């Protein structure tokens, strides 16, 4: 073995005095806790950058990494179980990523190892916490919350349980007022179930929808046959012999049903971070910088558990979205592998796109921001609704509801890069914005500027910077996947125009190398 590899292994090996007290202590260069999309993406990215490092994922889940946005489609029978995989089957073996099924009990940051059950442990060179989130669930003291037929939807097992019960249910109650609740309730309608939807507030999702947008969405849902109860909370669940028979609301209304689905949101899974020998800074999640570094050396966080600074509000908050977890996984992988120079992909503005029946909904940035310097533009033509928040000719927030969905990634890029929208304000507001033409013109202007000044711009176009780091086998949600080819074409075209070299990641090894589970074992 060469000297470089020996040095890498020596950095990851735990001191002998600790090994004596931990007879089953093993070690790895990179240890990742959690096999969600952020964790596995980080592992794959690190493997592409460092073919020789030992990478271990520790998880208490017994199934491979799944595409969580597809779970609702799986529950109603539109997808088979094998279609839920976020990466092709066998990715961990192909990429020589060792998966340990165990529960992590504590992080020993000073000694750089984690303790597992049964007296086992793992030393690490770099550690990533990607423990995801946990559902909030119904209130602890709610009568009937433990009845058979009350489900909190979050993990694969929850959706398997839902799928098994659907044929026996004629009427259901959905609790929660967010996108998760909307998509769940619409899926039940597809199955022919009579659905009652309980929303605590008078309007829907007040953080991202104003009143006109909320009314449009609610009216569209009602036309699909759903019964919506606004300003209504669940007060208790009644049953027969421990099985759900109905729901009592705070309006003293009794709603008969055979199933209650809780979709009240999630919270970062920070319990493990609280069991670290060195306190990790937490605020709505594990606080990290733009390189995903926590307050403790060599410990990183990514995915739903990480709290990043919102560039528009300045607050540290989790971004519990699929695309954000993928993006963070790539950056975390580069950092874990020691390639800090490659961890430059900007997080940018939050965005979310979904479909409510035939209605497409898109939010980018902060469309409801309140600032005296912000101009709000709205349009209600063509049975749709759009709202734009503009400051100094820059788009800082965008909301769109209608039959057609604008190019979400193009609009996000406009917000992220702060381009003037003076020439495209009307198309954006009317919903007929030609993203391909606009981005093509942008690339041409960048290329002309480079040829004229013979100097690269300070901020390179995002697709060109991102493409060399895209995993070859990759996690892409149904919303993002159609755009990947667009990004690749954009990046390659920009490279041709600017004369930059197209760099591809190293190819994987032809045969997987056996990985030890314990010292001396293959």
Model confidence over 209-238: pLDDT tens digits? 999 999 999 999 999 999 999 999 999 999
Asked if residue 275 has pLDDT above 70, the reply is: yes
Assess contact for 185 and 295: CB atoms under 8 A: no
> What's the pLDDT score for residue 458?
52
Asked if residue 260 has pLDDT above 50, the reply is: yes
Rounded to whole angstroms, what are the CA distances from 303 to 68, 324, 473? 13, 7, 19
Task: Give the residue-averaged pLDDT of 318-341.
Answer: 90
Nearest to 289 by CA among 328, 326, 324, 323: 328
Span 78-91, pLDDT tens digits: 888 889 999 999 99
Task: Give the residue-averaged pLDDT of 452-471.
Answer: 48
Asked if residue 520 has pLDDT above 70, the reply is: no
The overall average pLDDT reported for the chain is 81
Asked if residue 259 has pLDDT above 90, the reply is: yes
> What's the pLDDT score for residue 476?
40
> What's the pLDDT score for residue 123?
93
Task: Give the residue-averaged pLDDT of 392-413.
Answer: 87
Residue of higher predicted confidence among 497 and 446? 446
Confidence at 16, pLDDT banded by 50, 70, 90 = very low
Confidence at 24, pLDDT banded by 50, 70, 90 = low
Asked if residue 6 has pLDDT above 50, the reply is: no
Span 190-209, pLDDT tens digits: 889 999 999 999 999 988 89
**C-alpha–C-alpha distance, residues 494 and 328, integer Å:** 24
DSSP string covering 243-294: EEEEEEETTS-EEE-SEEEE---EEE--TTGGGBSSPPPBSSSEE--TT-B-
Widest pairwise Cα distance in the chain: 79
Q: What are the structure tokens assigned to 389, written together?
A: 């928040």
Asked if residue 44 has pLDDT above 60, the reply is: yes
Identify the bridge partners of residue 282 per DSSP, sorted by sequence position.
286
Residue of higher predicted confidence among 502 and 172? 172
Q: SS3 for 421? A: coil
Radius of gyration of the chain (CA): 25
> What's the pLDDT score for residue 315?
81
Asked if residue 189 has pLDDT above 70, the reply is: yes
Task: Give the residue-averaged pLDDT of 416-439.
Answer: 83
Nearest to 260 by CA among 148, 352, 371, 351: 148
> What's the pLDDT score for residue 420?
85
> What's the pLDDT score for residue 467?
35
Nearest to 31 by CA among 87, 97, 92: 97
Confidence at 279, pLDDT banded by 50, 70, 90 = confident
Asked if residue 62 has pLDDT above 70, the reply is: yes
Q: What are the structure tokens assigned to 391, written together?
A: 């400051």
Q: What are the structure tokens assigned to 426, written together?
A: 């009307």
> What's the pLDDT score for residue 233?
95
> What's the pLDDT score for residue 145?
93
Nearest to 53 by CA among 299, 333, 298, 301: 333
Confidence at 439, pLDDT banded by 50, 70, 90 = confident
Lowest mean pLDDT among 369-383, 394-408, 480-494: 480-494
Any idea which residue has 């509000």 for tokens? Answer: 313
Assess contact for 367 and 314: CB atoms under 8 A: no
> What's the pLDDT score for residue 222?
93
Task: Give the residue-averaged pLDDT of 39-63.
Answer: 95
> What's the pLDDT score for residue 509?
38
Span 64-111, pLDDT tens digits: 999 998 998 898 888 888 899 999 999 999 999 999 999 999 999 999
> What's the pLDDT score for residue 431?
81
> What's the pLDDT score for residue 113?
92
Task: Give the residue-averaged pLDDT of 15-34.
Answer: 68
> Could you give the percent of the chain with pLDDT greater than 70?
81
Domains observed in the chain: 3-134+268-342 (3.50.50.60), 150-264 (3.50.50.60), 348-433 (3.30.390.30)
* Cβ neighbourhood burial of 147 (10 Å; 0-12, 13-18, 19+): middle
Confidence at 430, pLDDT banded by 50, 70, 90 = confident
**C-alpha–C-alpha distance, residues 46 and 38, integer Å:** 12
**Which are the contacts of 354, defined by CB distance < 8 A and separation ≥ 6?**
179, 182, 183, 360, 361, 479
Q: What are the structure tokens assigned to 152, written together?
A: 């909190």
Task: Give the residue-averaged pLDDT of 168-194.
Answer: 93
């Amino acid at each position: 073995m060469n000297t470089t590899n020996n040095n890498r292994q020596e950095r990851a090996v735990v001191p002998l005095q600790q090994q004596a007290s931990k007879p089953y202590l093993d070690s790895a260069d990179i240890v990742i806790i959690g096999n969600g999309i952020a964790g596995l993406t980080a592992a794959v990215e690190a493997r592409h950058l460092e073919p020789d490092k030992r990478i271990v994922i520790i998880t208490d889940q017994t199934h491979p990494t799944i595409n969580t946005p597809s779970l609702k489609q799986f529950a109603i029978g539109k997808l088979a179980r094998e279609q839920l995989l976020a990466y092709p089957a066998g990715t961990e073996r192909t990429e020589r990523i060792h998966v340990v099924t165990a529960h992590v009990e504590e992080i020993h940051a000073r000694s750089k190892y984690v303790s597992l059950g049964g007296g086992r442990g793992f030393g690490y060179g770099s550690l990533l916490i990607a423990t995801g989130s946990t559902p909030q669930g119904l209130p602890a003291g709610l009568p009937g919350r433990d009845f058979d037929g009350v489900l909190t939807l979050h993990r694969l097992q929850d959706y398997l349980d839902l799928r098994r019960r659907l044929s026996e249910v004629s009427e259901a109650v959905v609790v929660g007022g967010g996108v998760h609740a909307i998509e769940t309730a619409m899926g039940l309608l597809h199955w022919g179930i009579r659905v009652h939807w309980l929303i605590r507030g008078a309007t829907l999702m007040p953080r991202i929808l104003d009143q006109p947008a909320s009314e449009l969405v609610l009216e569209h849902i009602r036309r699909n046959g759903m019964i919506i109860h606004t300003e209504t909370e669940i007060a208790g669940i009644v049953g027969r012999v421990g099985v759900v028979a109905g729901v009592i609301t705070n309006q003293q209304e009794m709603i008969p049903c055979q199933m209650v689905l809780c979709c009240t949101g999630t919270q970062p899974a920070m319990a493990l971070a609280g069991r670290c020998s060195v306190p990790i800074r937490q605020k709505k999640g594990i606080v990290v910088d733009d390189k995903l570094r926590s307050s403790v050396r060599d410990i990183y966080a990514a995915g739903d558990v990480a709290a990043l600074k919102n560039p528009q509000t300045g607050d540290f908050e989790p971004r519990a979205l699929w695309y954000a977890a993928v993006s963070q996984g790539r950056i975390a992988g580069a950092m874990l592998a020691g390639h800090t120079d490659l961890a430059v992909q900007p997080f940018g503005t939050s965005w979310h796109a979904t479909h409510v029946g035939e209605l497409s909904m898109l939010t980018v940035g902060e469309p409801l921001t309140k600032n005296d310097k912000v101009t709000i533009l709205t349009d209600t033509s063509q049975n749709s609704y759009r709202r734009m928040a503009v400051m100094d000719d820059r788009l800082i927030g965008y909301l769109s509801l209608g039959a057609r969905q604008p190019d979400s990634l193009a609009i996000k890029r406009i917000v992220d890069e702060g381009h003037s929208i003076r020439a495209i304000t009307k198309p954006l507001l009317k919903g007929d914005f030609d993203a391909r033409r606009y981005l093509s013109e942008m690339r041409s202007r960048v290329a002309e500027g480079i040829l004229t000044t013979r100097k690269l711009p300070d901020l390179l176009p995002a697709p060109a910077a991102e493409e060399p780091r895209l995993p070859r086998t990759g996690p892409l949600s149904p919303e993002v996947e159609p755009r990947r080819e667009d990004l690749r074409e954009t990046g390659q075209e920009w490279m041709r125009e600017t004369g930059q070299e197209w760099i591809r990641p190293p190819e994987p090894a032809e045969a997987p190398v056996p990985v030890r589970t314990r010292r001396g074992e293959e």
